[in-house]
Structure 1
């Protein structure tokens, strides 16, 4: 055990609930002074509409697992209900000398402003705050000319082992002094069978089983609402909340690719690892995407708020079975696959022609894997507000026929349609009078009429979106966005050598 000079190293956990490949913890552990891991449940943050019990339970489960691992070292994560600055004030008064360590966070404006205030507090109080790069996101970039190469270097860099045995952690007894001055953040949760559980052990389980065999159906099932639940990696919540790093996943996947003959599924998976960082990098460089159109030429596109549409969409009562099944599944489990996410977003923004900001927070609190840096750039893209991406208006009926032809997913989450044959469960508005009598099903009584005429709504949306693309400002913004965010072609330096 190192001898302490009675100062304190505070490792502030935000979205990095792990004890491996954690640069802030590694650097703090190398210091001879005491080390304290802390999570602050900040009411000002977690009461925001973007967060829900899905997220808090996942955090709690992650903390429980971390504390189980830390028992060997007679320490734990201090988990309290407190705003960060009052907590730091108390630590400074208690210890005199403190140092703050954390991972960089590409978050909402809410957390960004919080971090600015923390930075100002540190500067005013002469406190050193060290932040470290998180996954493949790089702060301060002006364009993407070197991003792919930098991303690849970061992913291939050797992971530094953290010597927890030799870290000068505060003891459980010492941590009790903190707990008497702050309200504890309870970590008990009620298990939910359909919702993934947080923690590094769970992350490793999903990664190991995916690389062992589940990846074999990755490309075939990635768009299927049922098959994707097994054959996609399902690592997204563990990445979003930092139970495992992208680098850990990348390096283990590279090793597994060397061991198998058919590398196509894992190659596809690895490309999506990079795209994960790519979207967060976009948000890091232009965080205003949380609130308004990425392409400023679309700021006045003319959305008309329709409360009836919004409520029906949020309840899964649009009259389009695959849309409703996806919404209800999301509310129940915190997960739907990427294809269903893009479809329900496109349906809202295009066919209902509503502004993405109306559902941004709602979707966030229902996505267990809510990651601000992916969430808002994706909503922008699926809404057609970039001015350069192809406008994709997903047809929910075609998608149901292509990806849920037996209506297994639809019937699971829209039980009103359970007694209909697959073709009618997908298109219940096509029932004839005879079929309605045969199946004892009335569309208006037992389900919902389609909320819009899909063909007409699609025509209107395309006219408005492509019409705006011709505007001078939209064209100018398109060039600005492409110059700033486009990754150079033929840049394969991110890939494994």
Structure 2
């Protein structure tokens, strides 16, 4: 029987791993992961992301060991690794999950596909999420397809599987996995730890305790840290499968008696659907990583201002809620979705910065960076998708609504800890105001806002209104919010909740 080679990418688990499951039925299996140094030099990758993956690789190696296998590590070009496998073992079948990543990974996969054709290697790819590649293969509406995919039984490794555990001459020892693959401008001391073992603990705590507060706690950064699932990095890197999470949520929903808790679990389950919906949207509009979905929106005057960009990315805009969120993101590698949207809105609308450097900086900070979610959201919240609804977040209103006592702001901006609560969200109005900033009673310094929000807000709306009058701007395919809405009950109680529910749904707070 031919050798079956499993290429692990962003699917660092053994449970519900279709590529591994299929390979285990066909012959002896060799499992490998490629450390691709070129990938880690891209503008949307970071060492904080790598450290999470590094921990996940140690965990994956242990998972494979428990079923009799071994993880082989290579570094450099994946085609070179495949050539070595071919040279040492002869002809093989390659198995992997489809990676719907950035343009670099797509082009790398195209090169691998060409090599496989040249060497007559059969490469079999399997869906990682409820997403179809190419879209022409989908035989039903997306929701129906997703429901069918999520209901499939989880993939299992054959009890009769046989693994190749021989060492290869050029493989990288697990103990020699580098800790530094690229330079990060900032450390991430509070990031979540990688690996399936840690992911399962997070899932357990969410389903057994934290999910009760999910509904109503995901918008404020003060409550979202514990109220959100915190599973996003484990999904993005495949430590847990989306199917096993969805099924665990449905099981938990059946067990709980509290109606509010049931609704919270339902809300989270719905966001797993949204997760795949946006990845499918990205798959269908893959150019959005580099090009605005609505080209006319590129006519907005958004020159790159290095001083404003530096102030925004380092949490020194002068808007306390914005800066607190950015500094929290620096330290955790995570911030809740609504605050991610605010950071994009402030950068692109309030500070009139171009969306591409904004997208790249945030991607580097997100330990849970998922291209299929990140780039559609950047396009939406920067106005590049052509949506009728402008998401221009008022930093002061957001702070007043979501951090009423200023606890979150004071936690992340020590310069403002001595400021009166009256002025905590608008310190430039306090007695210590200077043209360049604010000095608290303790003598620490915090800058004044870079721009007047009300003025730039009016200017942005006027420019966009003018653009829409000049061009027939419609929402990009997959971004029409009216068409995205799922069917709802027509009962009176449903109609009463409509405004609130639509607002929550349009935030698309996935995790």
Tell me whether the two structures share a fold, i.e. TM-score over 0.5. Answer: yes
Q: Which residue of 2 aligns with 1:22?
A: 17
Shift of 1:324: 0.8
Corresponding position: 1:329 with 2:328: yes
What's the C-alpha RMSD, in Å, of the aligned pairs? Answer: 2.6
Alpha-carbon separation, structure 2, partners of 1:39 and 1:434: 55
1:307-326, aligned counterparts within 5 Å? Answer: 307-326=306-325
For 1:277 and 1:485, locate their aligned partners in 2 and report how far apart those are by CA, in whole Å. Answer: 18
Paired residues of 1:148 and 1:491 also in contact (CA < 8 A): no
In 2, the alpha carbon distance for the partners of 1:264 and 1:491 equals 14
**What does the per-residue CA deviation read over 1:351-390, in whole Å, with 9 as the maximum and x for residues that have no partner?**
0111210121211111010000000000000011222341
Contact 2:39 2:104 in 1 (8 A): yes
Q: Which secondary structure state, in structure 2, belongs to the residue aligned with residue 272 of structure 1?
A: helix
Q: Aligned equivalents of 1:379 and 1:79: distance in 2?
A: 34
Question: Aligned pair 1:10/2:11, yes or no?
Answer: no
CA deviations 1:387-412 (Å, max 9, x no partner) are: 23410110111111111122221122
Q: Could you tell me how far 1:259 is from its partner in structure 2?
A: 1.4
User: Once the 2 structures are TM-superposed, how far is the Cα of residue 474 of structure 1 from its aligned partner?
Assistant: 2.1
Larger RCO, structure (CA 8 Å, separation 6 or more): 1
Q: 1:227 aligns with which of 223, 229, 236?
A: 223
Match of 1:238 in 2: 234
Partner of 2:441: 440
Alpha-carbon contact 2:96-2:124 (below 8 Å) kept? yes
Q: State which drifts further: 269-278 or 69-78.
A: 69-78
- What does 1:97-496 correspond to in 2, within 5 Å? 97-141=91-135, 146-163=141-158, 165-171=159-165, 174=166, 176=167, 178=168, 180-184=169-173, 186-187=176-177, 194-261=190-257, 262=259, 263-433=262-432, 439-440=440-441, 446-475=445-474, 478=475, 486-487=483-484, 490=487
1: CA distance, partners of 2:207 / 2:80: 44
Q: Distance in 2 between matches of 1:423 and 1:402?
A: 14
CA–CA distance in structure 2, aligned partners of residues 192 and 488 of structure 1: 37
Measure how far apart 1:183 and its partner are: 4.2
Q: Any idea what SS the aligned residue of 1:474 has?
A: coil
- 1:81 deviation in Å? 1.4
SS in 1 for 2:131: coil
Task: Say whether 1:46 aligns with 2:40.
Answer: yes
Shift of 1:473: 4.4
1:141–1:285 contact (8 Å) kept in structure 2: yes
What is the alpha-carbon distance in structure 2 between the residues aligned to residue 226 and residue 148 of structure 1?
33
**In structure 1, distance between residues paired with 2:372 and 2:65:** 34
Cα displacement string for residues 179-198 of structure 1 (whole angstroms, at most 9, x for unaligned residues): x3244463476997621111
Provide the TM-score with structure 2 as the length reference. 0.87
Tell me what 2:64 maps to.
70
Structure-2 change in CA distance of 1:17 and 1:428 (3 Å): same
Q: Which runs of 5+ in 1 are unaligned?
A: 493-497
Paired residues in the alignment total 476
SS of residue matched to 1:101? strand
Deviates more, 1:138-147 or 1:277-286: 138-147
Distance 1:300 1:145, change over 3 A: farther
The DSSP-based 3-state class of the residue aligned with 1:36 is: strand
Q: CA deviation at 1:58?
A: 0.9
- Cα deviation for residue 467 of structure 1 reads 2.5
Q: How big is the shift at 1:422?
A: 3.0
Conservation of the 8 A alpha-carbon contact between 1:381 and 1:389: no
Contact 2:386 2:476 (C-alpha < 8 Å) held by counterparts: no
Q: What is the CA–CA distance in structure 2 between the aligned matches of 1:114 and 1:157, rounded to whole Å?
A: 30
